[in-house]
Chain A
Amino acid sequence: MEVKTIYKYPDSLEKKVTHYCPGCHHGIIHKLIAELIDEMNLLEKTIIVWPIGCSVLGYEYFKVDSCVAAHGRAPAMATGIKRANPENFVLSYQGDGDLASIGMAEIVHAAARGEKITVVFINNTNYGMTGGQMAPTTLIGQKTTTSPYGRDPKVSGYPIKVAELLSNLEGAAYIARAAVNKPTRITQAKKFLKKAFNAQLKEIGFSLVEFLSACPVQWHMTPLKALERIENELIPYYPLGEFKVKEGVE
């Protein structure tokens, strides 16, 4: 009988146990990135810029060249890397506090310049690493350690829809929002991610995939409840799909 490998541990991932909390989606998203690096034969040319936040140790899990940027500055650092060596495939991996708050200027301008980098944006609607404080993406009414009575728009304004915001910029070649709370969504997320990779490889422009990601510990939920929250609370406010697909992106 012929044996065919249809599912395996990605070659570009180190065989390590990660530090992520049970039910956290970083692991699934890392794996999607690693699978694409393998499938698209990118291991030898990839450079990943890791953020400040839960995934700050991400470089330990990939067999690719990596660095860690200052809080919010990953798109600027990625710009410096990509401009120095345009033949490299440059990925920046950022959380919502990092990208949508302190680093908003850097991400907007990287997109506006049409910087040929790919950003994986993890939106878990709070600052996970520092103890679950309010983020720019925290939903109205959501309780966090710094919005203990629920986020009040009169005080803290409204959650930022990053994918929609960036898709208005001319330099953006591909912008999508995905979730990985169901197997079908994981398949869809990988398709989005592949298009984002291609937008860079084909030198079309800036690309970003926003992931609605579970944070069961800071949401004070079981991992299964967290999956339901993504479905019932996050997706209605942050709809999934492609927001910008420039011609030539496949």
Chain B
Amino acid sequence: MSERVFMKGAEALAEAVIRSGCRFFYGYPITPQNETPEYFARKLPLVGGLYLQAESEVAAINMVYGTACAGKRVFTSTSSPGFSLMQEGISYIACSNVPVVVANVVRGGPGLGGISPAQSDYFQATKGGGHGDYKVVVIAPSSVQEIVDLVPKAFEIADKYRTVVELLLDGVLGQMMEAVEFNYDIDPNSLPEKPWALTGAKGRKKNTIVSFNLDPEKLEQMNLELKKKYDEIEKNEKMWEEYKLIDAEYIFVAYGTVGRIIKTVVDEEREKGIKVGLFRPITLWPFPYEELRKFVDQAKFFINVEMSLGQMLEDTRLSILDRKPTFFYGRTGGVVPTTVEIKEFFEKKMKEVG
């Protein structure tokens, strides 16, 4: 069943979604993720699916909400300003306990920003985004193959916990072409039934899906139920990669595209005999705090690198708890840091700290 093809990240994402048994896409065009909806527009009708272009991101996420309530796998993708517009819907979806997978191909912000790749939506993705006490599972691949591998996992987590799962990508991953292998093709009809879904009250009592309770005590209870679910997700669903960390004295922390860039930095520094490694969170929420903390004793210092002015840095520091120096290097506004500038920064810090 395994199939090796040369594909652009944005298209591999769409293909992976279809092969995950999802047949419904609602979205609104925004750069730099348009190849994803365009791929759906071409392919979904051929497999009995639906590509529907909404009048706005606000409408798109609410169409997603409706299809999720009706018990079908459903997906949308957008980029930063569009993702901001979707936050209203995501808050409602989170409270309603319906499974949804969303991709945000992050571009430079704030405001209209630009169309180049960035990681500056980390706070929005991992710390809420919309109103209320809720969490979103955030998965950040760093290669096209990893997109392909993680998309079915995203749907699995969404269905298992009836929750929102977000794929946090950036323009580099969307535009990059790589050889990828697909080893799955899930038939939507083979997916487990969703007895809670809105399908018409035939042979059963009515189903109701709401995201509110006007009684504060009951609403608190709804929030506590959500919290229980998030605790379970934290316990079971953390993902991360350890790259050359066994003997590392200097540890980079980075995710997504930057994580990939850092691998080159690590390899080149290793060639010089410097004991350096990378810790790459794959789930940004739940963040692998304890897993990173395990390296505190062996490390001389940590460097957190991002395409932002330091957002994941806060979680990195929560892991390290100031027990070792933690430095930050970042570029923002759509600038991708180069291995040369990261190495310069690293070597300067090495000299300073020793």
Contacts and interface: CB of A to CB of B under 8 A. Distances in A.
| A, B co-complexed | yes
Contact of B66 (A62, A76, A105): A76
Interface in A65-88: 65-70, 73, 76-85, 87-88
A77 B199 contact: no
Contacts of A70: 62, 88-89, 92
Interface residues of A, number: 35
Contacts of A66: 198, 206-209
Mostly, the B contact residues are mixed
B200 A67 contact: no
Majority DSSP secondary structure for residues of A touching B: mixed
Interface size on B, as a range, is 35 or more
B67 A80 contact: yes
A66 B211 CA distance: 12
B51 to A, nearest CB: 11
B158 to A, nearest CB: 15
B353 interface: no
A80 B66 CA distance: 4
Contact of A80 (B58, B68, B88): B68
A65 B208 CA distance: 6
Contacts of A46: 200-201
Contacts of B54: 76, 109
Interface stretch (B70-78, B135-143, B308-316): B70-78
Given A47-B200, A65-B201, A84 B24 contact: yes
B41 interface: no
User: Which one of B24, B63, B67, B96 has the greatest number of beta carbons of chain A within 10 Å?
Assistant: B63
A196 B52 CA distance: 24
A59 B71 CA distance: 19
Contacts of B65: 69, 73, 76-77, 80
Interface of B: 24, 26, 50, 52, 54-56, 58-60, 62-72, 74, 88-89, 92, 96, 198-203, 206-212
7 contacts: A59-B210, A73-B89, A76-B62, A78-B66, A79-B52, A80-B26, A84-B74
